Chain A
Amino acid sequence: MSFTRRILLRATGAALGGALALASTGAFAQGAGPIKVGILHSLSGTMAISETTLKDVMLMLIEEQNKKGGVLGRKLEAVVVDPASNWPLFAEKARELISKEKVAATFGCWTSVSRKSVLPVFEELNSVLFYPVQYEGEESSKNIFYTGAAPNQQAIPAVDYLMSEDGGNVKRWVLAGTDYVYPRTTNRILEAYLKSKGVAAEDIMINYTPFGHSDWQTIVSQVKAFGSAGKKTAVVSTINGDANVPFYKELGNQGVKATDIPVVAFSVGEEELAGIDTKPLIGHLAAWNYFQSIDNPINKEFIAKWRAFTKNDKRVTNDPMEAHVIGFNMWVKAVEKAGTVDSDAVIDALIGVSVPNLTGGYSTMMPNHHITKPVLIGEVQGDGQFNTVWQTSGLVVGDEWSDYLDGSKDLISDWRKPMSCGNFNVKTGKCGGAGK
């Protein structure tokens, strides 16, 4: 009950804001045309599997906003480009969106390497990017807003859960990942974290595999051997998208059950499970900030809208989609607050903006350009959905510079004036540079 009332309040608030905005545009009478919003997601190539969905969800959000009258009294117009899973092309397309299409903000990227490729472009041309995917941290930019999870909003709580009584008192760890920047950095943080918790070096096994690795026989049998040393063992998987299906299939083939050696994954969501028979995987875990199975009115409404929009009543939702929903609503609110789409004003206005997330709470944009989120641990069910078995008691603030790495534990990021610094060193009291 209180919920609907809150939504109602929000709605009235938004309507008021809209009216105010209308008035202000009337006064300025500048932008008569639509506000352009860039969508920078791969629609072809390897990453299309994940990113196409995000393009669709953005189109849905924009359509919906337009039905409500747009922003500042102007309609929104989506500009969709296809960077084709090609990292340098991401930078080119970003430049095209900002310079040629003059978009007010861009929503896009999935892999860390694509984000690193567009970062200098957004900084040079001073535009805004919302990045919706969980990532390794160790980065902060004035122009990028990270709506996905930082390691402390996903990896560390997952490990905490497994170490707890509930999670099975795990004492031995396999950190398995695909060989690129996100798993390597995340595993570096996790290794330092585990050691700080008193886990011995011989109880940690780290394994990397190439992209799209499909023959998991050797590695699964190694994991099995590692896990039968008499101590409770778990696998922390940062294995990327495509390689997961054969990995889980092999786990099933070799009879590794979740009750023996649970696997907690950071890149496997509802969308990835859609291609697998999940019966042998029941009980394996994933850590996210959102699951489709979350039972509350706001999420149900979102799923219904998404299925109506895609005209497919089996379409699933996932965590990065929620991140885009949050990011988009934050941007709309910030633009209304600033009364303009000008980058600097919107960047300032975004900090402190709070919007409802789909798990039934509110997410706030923090001064380090990361948001607050709940962390959920879910178990795979036979129907390809997750069942939440644990969640943090409150919201967790994203931490861009990990506290467990030597190079970064003294750094903080705060983009409010007058500090306006992405890597302020609290020991030396100096800003290390313009952020990177």
Chain B
Amino acid sequence: MTRTVLSDLSGIARLPESPPQLPAAHRFERTIEALSMLAAVLALIAAALLFAAPAQAQSASEPLAGFTTDRFPDTERTIVGLPASGLTTAPALIDALAANRLYFDANTRQVYFTNEAGAVFDARTGQAAPGVTTTGLKRVRLNNAVRRALDATRGALTLMSPDPALRKAAAESVFKSRDATALPLVETALGRETIAANKRALTEARAAIIASDSKAEEVARLEAIEVLRARGDQDASGILSGVAASGSGRIKAAAESGVAAIQGRLALWANVQNVWYGLSLGSVLLLAAIGLAITFGVMGIINMAHGEMVMIGAYTTFVVQEWIRASQPGLLNYSLFIAIPLAFLVTGAVGVLIERLVIRHLYGRPLETLLATFGISLILQQAVRTIFGANNREVSAPGFMSGSFDLGPLSIGHGRMWIIVFALMVFVALQLVLRATSFGLRMRAVTQNRRMASSMGIDTNRVDAMAFGLGSGIAGMAGVALSQIDNVSPNLGQSYIIDSFMVVVFGGVGNLWGTLLGAVTLGVANKFLEPIAGAVLGKILLLVFIILFIQKRPRGLFAQKGRAVEA
């Protein structure tokens, strides 16, 4: 039960992330600006004092005492009481607590907070506290209940913030907390709001409060239920099913029909979601498999160390990020753009080395190649484990890869979206290399008829090495992308090797279009099976399907025709 109230008007107008040391004149001006709402808020304070009576009894004299007991329920109560405490530092304290920067002295029962730079301030006055260091202090601890109270209180405090994004977030947090005491504030904010999106968020927040309030008027509640029904997402459905469970008569009926409408709409969207997830999984499969489509598909080498190339690419990303952190912190957002070409070069070089040292001697002996490359994969894994340790390494996501945006009820992650784009770019680039460059021409010539190509003056040895390097390099670039969504550990590659072979074989050996189509088909099929059959059974069903498919069409989706096949 979180009840939020508000009294500190200066806190409404600004959201301080630094301790309250704003010039007095500035503060005063903002206070004046906010005075117009004083009446509404005063009523609220009275209500809050009534609600929080037991907690306030002691804290009327010492509103921060609850922070010094090191007990979560006390902390929660103190937060809820903060806006009504009359302390000008209240918003700063809320922020400090959310950032784990609120401290107390167990002996003197004094509360302090620090700013980001680590300077200590007295929590009551907001003045700097010289001579106090955090070493002798205990942190005020948080748990999820405290955090929920924080979010709700902060939501109410920032409903009228000058920053529109903050106002929207505040409306969302009120929507979630459905805190009835925030209603007058929401109404006031709604009257002043000019941005349409924020207006909608506030209307929905108001609707969420009114719909769940069993004492509200029936007409108002029915209207609120309509608003929630129009919002149409899982959260709205959750609120409505709560209303349906507790309400009766027309309210119950309206809420139930609202839930049914939302669920029907969401069921349709679930299919869109499956396609999107399938494309996303398909792009990952494509990235992992496309390098293999060259080495296995075009050159016919069963390369079990392919996954380790992916892994080395991911570790290259890690090293690049470490280097950037140590020497050029400003570049961190561009780390992936540096890592992609580097990963290509590093893994490409490793690939050429493997081809020259091992695979070259084993052409035409697939079984030995399989065993030798399997051995190489183990050696590479253990080498990486020895150099970097067995633990996962942290690769951070640059700004443009994190977060998500909403498309209807779908939330689409930026990271996943960019990986799809990247996979397509790699695919197009590879097609261009194969179709439009002389190296691509030579490579195709060698794979179609080695002896003929050789007699035409093509250095087949060199082409072999370069082609293997190309396949490995692409795997390395895939590793950069996969480092964003998977563990960067020595085992990274192992989990992709089977899937990669599956995609290449299914798509048709030797055909890049087949690999593309194979990856997307398997991805989408997997995502449609998963909700029905579960992840484990889904994967098994897919394998069974591929086995049956290969029985029917041994050469995959796109069978290569002509003499090259017999060679």
A274 touching B392 in the complex, CB below 8 Å, given contacts A179-B536, A214-B486, A258-B147 = yes
A12 contact set on B, CB distance < 8 A: none
Q: Which of A17-25, A217-225, A327-335, A401-409 contacts B (4 or more CB under 8 A)?
A: A217-225
Q: Which of B13-21, B217-225, B277-285, B436-444 contacts A (4 or more CB under 8 A)?
A: B277-285
B382 within 8 A of partner (CB): yes
A49 contact set on B, CB distance < 8 A: 390-392, 489, 491
A367 to B411, CA, bound (A): 53
A242 touching B238 in the complex, CB below 8 Å, given contacts A276-B392, A379-B142 = no
A44 touching B277 in the complex, CB below 8 Å, given contacts A168-B144, A253-B415, A255-B404 = no
8 Å CB interface, B407-422 against A:
411, 413, 415-416
Question: Using a Cβ–Cβ cut-off of 8 Å, how many residues does chain A contribute to the interface with B?
Answer: 51
Would you call B238 and A229 a contact (CB within 8 A)? yes
A274 to B396, CA, bound (A): 12
8 Å CB interface, A60-111 against B:
none
Would you call A228 and B392 a contact (CB within 8 A)? no
Would you call B385 and A166 a contact (CB within 8 A)? no
8 Å CB interface, A304-352 against B:
none
The residue on B at minimum CB distance from A51 is: B390
A208 to B487, CA, bound (A): 19
A207 within 8 A of partner (CB): yes
A272 contact set on B, CB distance < 8 A: 392
The residue on A at minimum CB distance from B281 is: A215
A13 within 8 A of partner (CB): no
Cβ-neighbour of B242 out of A224, A230, A271 (below 8 A): A230
Cβ-neighbour of B391 out of A246, A259, A274 (below 8 A): A274
Cβ-neighbour of B234 out of A167, A219, A228 (below 8 A): A228
Would you call B141 and A389 a contact (CB within 8 A)? yes
A59 within 8 A of partner (CB): no
Cβ-neighbour of B280 out of A208, A217, A219, A275 (below 8 A): A217
Would you call A230 and B245 a contact (CB within 8 A)? yes
B242 contact set on A, CB distance < 8 A: 230
The residue on A at minimum CB distance from B243 is: A230
8 Å CB interface, B376-424 against A:
381-382, 385, 389-394, 396-397, 402-404, 411, 413, 415-416
Nearest-CB distance from A167 to chain B (Å)? 8
A48 touching B535 in the complex, CB below 8 Å, given contacts A214-B495, A224-B234, A283-B147 = no
Would you call A387 and B144 a contact (CB within 8 A)? no
Cβ-neighbour of B239 out of A230, A242, A245, A277 (below 8 A): A230
A210 contact set on B, CB distance < 8 A: 535-536, 539
B228 within 8 A of partner (CB): no
B273 within 8 A of partner (CB): yes
8 Å CB interface, B251-274 against A:
266, 273-274
B531 contact set on A, CB distance < 8 A: 218, 222
B43 within 8 A of partner (CB): no
From B239, B391, B416, residue with most partner A Cβ within 10 Å: B391
The residue on B at minimum CB distance from A221 is: B273
A381 to B72, CA, bound (A): 16
Q: Is the interface of A mostly helix, strand, loop or mixed?
A: loop
8 Å CB interface, B22-70 against A:
none
A208 touching B535 in the complex, CB below 8 Å, given contacts A49-B489, A259-B151 = yes
A379 touching B144 in the complex, CB below 8 Å, given contacts A274-B391, A277-B394 = yes
A253 touching B413 in the complex, CB below 8 Å, given contacts A228-B234, A275-B393 = yes
Chain B interface extent, by class: 35 or more
Would you call A242 and B487 a contact (CB within 8 A)? yes
A296 within 8 A of partner (CB): no
Would you call B487 and A258 a contact (CB within 8 A)? no
A356 within 8 A of partner (CB): no
A213 contact set on B, CB distance < 8 A: 535
Nearest-CB distance from B328 to chain A (Å)? 19
B143 within 8 A of partner (CB): yes
Cβ-neighbour of A275 out of B382, B402, B415, B489 (below 8 A): B489
A221 to B277, CA, bound (A): 10
Would you call A214 and B143 a contact (CB within 8 A)? no
A254 to B382, CA, bound (A): 35
Nearest-CB distance from B545 to chain A (Å)? 17
B389 contact set on A, CB distance < 8 A: 52
Nearest-CB distance from A230 to chain B (Å)? 4
Would you call B416 and A245 a contact (CB within 8 A)? no
The residue on A at minimum CB distance from B528 is: A218
Would you call A48 and B490 a contact (CB within 8 A)? yes
8 Å CB interface, B465-523 against A:
485-491, 494-495
A212 contact set on B, CB distance < 8 A: 491, 494-495
8 Å CB interface, A215-251 against B:
215, 217-219, 221-222, 224-225, 228-230, 242, 245-246, 249
The residue on B at minimum CB distance from A274 is: B391
From B148, B235, B381, B487, residue with most partner A Cβ within 10 Å: B487
Nearest-CB distance from A378 to chain B (Å)? 10
The residue on B at minimum CB distance from A230 is: B242
A260 contact set on B, CB distance < 8 A: 176
A262 within 8 A of partner (CB): yes
A392 within 8 A of partner (CB): no
A185 within 8 A of partner (CB): no
Nearest-CB distance from A382 to chain B (Å)? 7
A246 touching B413 in the complex, CB below 8 Å, given contacts A48-B385, A382-B100 = no
A217 touching B100 in the complex, CB below 8 Å, given contacts A242-B491, A276-B394 = no
The residue on A at minimum CB distance from B173 is: A259
Cβ-neighbour of B394 out of A45, A230, A275 (below 8 A): A275
A interface with B by C-beta (< 8 Å): 44-46, 48-49, 52, 166-168, 179, 207-210, 212-215, 217-219, 221-222, 224-225, 228-230, 242, 245-246, 249, 253-255, 258-260, 262, 271-272, 274-277, 283, 379, 381-382, 387, 389
List of 8 A-B pairs having minimum Cβ-Cβ separation, nearest first: A275-B392, A228-B234, A230-B242, A228-B238, A253-B413, A48-B390, A209-B535, A389-B143
27 pairs of residues in contact across A and B, judged by CB atoms under 8 Å: A48-B490, A49-B390, A49-B491, A168-B144, A212-B495, A214-B486, A214-B487, A215-B277, A215-B284, A218-B531, A224-B234, A225-B234, A229-B238, A230-B240, A245-B486, A246-B487, A253-B413, A254-B404, A254-B411, A254-B413, A255-B404, A259-B147, A259-B151, A271-B391, A272-B392, A275-B489, A277-B397
